[in-house]
Structure 1
Amino acid sequence: MTPARPTSLITGASAGIGAAFARDLAKRGHDLILTARRADRLEALATELRDAHGGKVTILPCDLANPDASEKLCADIEALGLHVDWLVNNAGYGVPGTFEANAWQTHADFIQVLMTAPAELAWRLLPGMRERRYGRIINVASLAGHVPGSAGHTLYAASKAYLIKFSQSLALENQMLGVHVCALCPGFTWSEFHDVTGTRELMNKLPGFMWQTAEVVVSEGVEAVERGEIVHVTGSVNRFIKALMKLLPDRLTLWLSARESRRYRQLEAAP
């Protein structure tokens, strides 16, 4: 049974797609638990949402790169007497440069945030969803998880492919228990993602029709998980690209990936 006011935990909620999820779900009548590293941004967003929608907004800043962050976050939620009906695993970023150009700790932190934390949060929160016979888990993956990997940003596509497969298995295990799981796969989305990675100038060379707003991505994602869709690629252009990549031979798709990597990927590590 759907709660009167579901409670949604959103990771990486301070900007971009995460903040758009917060605004969308608050508008739909959800109470929110927001987490990210930047407490000041979370405070500002929480104030905005309380003023606009009057719901309960709890902020719990944390850095999911810390191996104990997910356990502590769930303990803090329980200590406040809250439970999570919707989990939006959105926290993520990119690491410019080739694999060997970055320190191992940089890669380890990336794996922790984009792969380990989403799995651990789902593992810790799923039992309550199953018991209540209601839950929604959205793992924000990417079109990158459906196409060949690129030179540079080495682990990004791999992490997104992992989230897609993880979501599929989790959905099949829980679909009879009122818990819907969806891998949301946007393409290029207007946010500060590329500013943080230092690739904005390269990304600005892409044609405008390749881009979507965070608000459109989120709206598609919420509607997809509600109707039980397990993998959702946003936008007709991105769905065409995914379909095309499946039809073309691997050798050709890898050649295309290599060409586009030279045009749009930063192959040096961030300073």
Structure 2
Amino acid sequence: MSTALITGASAGLGASFAQELAKRQTDLVLVARSQDKLQQLAQDLQATYGIQVEVIPQDLTEPDAASKVFERINQKNITIDLLINNAGFGDYGVFSQSSRQKQLKMIQLNILALVDLTHHFLPQMQQRGSGSIINVSSISGFQPLPYLSIYSSTKAFIISFSEALWAENQHTGVKILAACPGPTETSFFAAANFDQSAPESLKQQKTDSPEVVVQEILKALDADDCTVVTGRWQNHLLVNLSRLLPRKTLVQIVEQQFRPQK
């Protein structure tokens, strides 16, 4: 039986990944800050599907957090066959007026923890000649997003990083996938402070269910794609706008759409 490590596993896409993989009889290692939520999820999945679930409460914005997770897994002699770097968050607002600490934590979680975990587990997969890594990006990684400037930049990094690793690993037996969902039914928008001053058009945009998004991502992984854009057709249109419009024009249009209400 294979084992998957999922970060940000206590809710949203992470919990949906856990649910879907448990159905497929995959053992799990769940990582998130909330120990209570992780333990409840683990108990439910073990009882329902008869799989093994390990829980690692860990704030991945802390220094050396990825190394602590890696050491814990090695101590338990667990082999990770699938790494899902899902943990991340955004912050909506004018960059110069945003919390400096929150922006740096976002970079730490969305980029540094993802890179560190990948660097820990990828060599082991290469040595075995098998394994998979899913790095959760976003359609926001395909163009700059004013008022989500750090978030969209971290997601752009994830796409570029993952596609490069996919190319490096074509002949190693290891699959790498950049997963790029559009708006999804999770707590992302509330956590990113959209409710306070975002335009109504953003608050009311249609969202995809996390269950459908996860299934599309896993299907793309099976096909050994390097990148997948999930969800409705509008998502596929949005990621290609940078090919159709001058970048200056595109970012001006996006700024108007995302400009906070006064």
For Structure 1 versus Structure 2, the TM-score category normalised by the shorter chain is over 0.9
Q: Give the secondary-structure state (helix, strand or coil) at the position aligned to 1:83.
A: coil
Q: Is the 8 A contact 1:97 1:266 kept in 2?
A: no
With over 3 angstroms needed to count, the CA separation of the structure-2 counterparts of 1:218 and 1:203, relative to structure 1, is: farther
Q: 1:257 to 1:206 in 2, by over 3 A?
A: closer
**Residues 171-220 of structure 1: CA distance to partner in whole angstroms, max 9, x if unpaired?**
11112111000000011000111122231474864597731011111111
Output the TM-score relative to the length of structure 1: 0.91
1:182 corresponds to 2:177: yes
* Aligned twin of 1:194: 189
Cα deviation, 1:67-94, whole Å, max 9, x if unaligned, reads: 2110010000000110111000000111
Counterpart amino acid of 1:105? Q
**Per-residue CA distance 1:114-143 (angstroms, 9 max, x = gap):** 000111101000111111111110000000
Shift of 1:247: 1.2
Aligned with residue 237 of structure 1, among 234, 237, 250: 234
Contact 1:194 1:203 in 2 (8 A): no
Q: Answer 1 or 2: higher relative contact order, Cα 8 Å, separation at least 6.
A: 1
1:133 corresponds to which residue? 129
**Structure 1 position 69 matched with structure 2 position 65:** yes
Deviation at 1:166, TM superposition (A): 0.3
- 1:46: which partner in 2? 42
1:113-262 pair list within 5 angstroms: 113-147=109-143, 149-200=144-195, 202=198, 205-206=201-202, 210-235=206-231, 236-262=233-259
Letter in 1 for 2:16: A
* 8 A contact 2:194–2:203 mirrored in 1: no
Moved over 6 A (4+): none
Instruction: Flag the 1:103–1:200 CA change in 2: closer, same or farther, 3 A.
Output: closer
Is the Cα contact below 8 Å between 2:199 and 2:257 reproduced in 1? no
Say if 2:241 and 2:250, in contact at 8 Å, map to a contact too.
no
Residue of 10, 14, 24 corresponding to 1:14: 10
Q: How many Å separate the matches in 2 of 1:208 and 1:102?
A: 24
Is the contact between residue 152 and residue 266 of structure 1 (CA under 8 Å) also seen in structure 2?
no
- The alpha-carbon deviation at position 254 of structure 1 amounts to 1.4
Q: Where does the alignment leave 5 or more consecutive residues of structure 2 unmatched?
A: none
* CA–CA distance in structure 1, aligned partners of residues 200 and 44 of structure 2: 30
How far is 1:29 from its partner? Answer: 1.4
> How far, CA to CA, are the matches of 2:200 and 2:185 in structure 1?
11
8 Å CA contact 2:195, 2:203 repeated in 1: no
Relative distance call for 1:37 and 1:76 in structure 2 (3 A) is: same
Q: How many matched pairs?
A: 260
1:27-55 deviation per Cα after TM superposition (whole angstroms, max 9, x unaligned): 11110000000111101111111111110
TM-score, normalisation: structure 2? 0.94
For 2:243 and 2:186, the matched residues in 1 are separated by 28
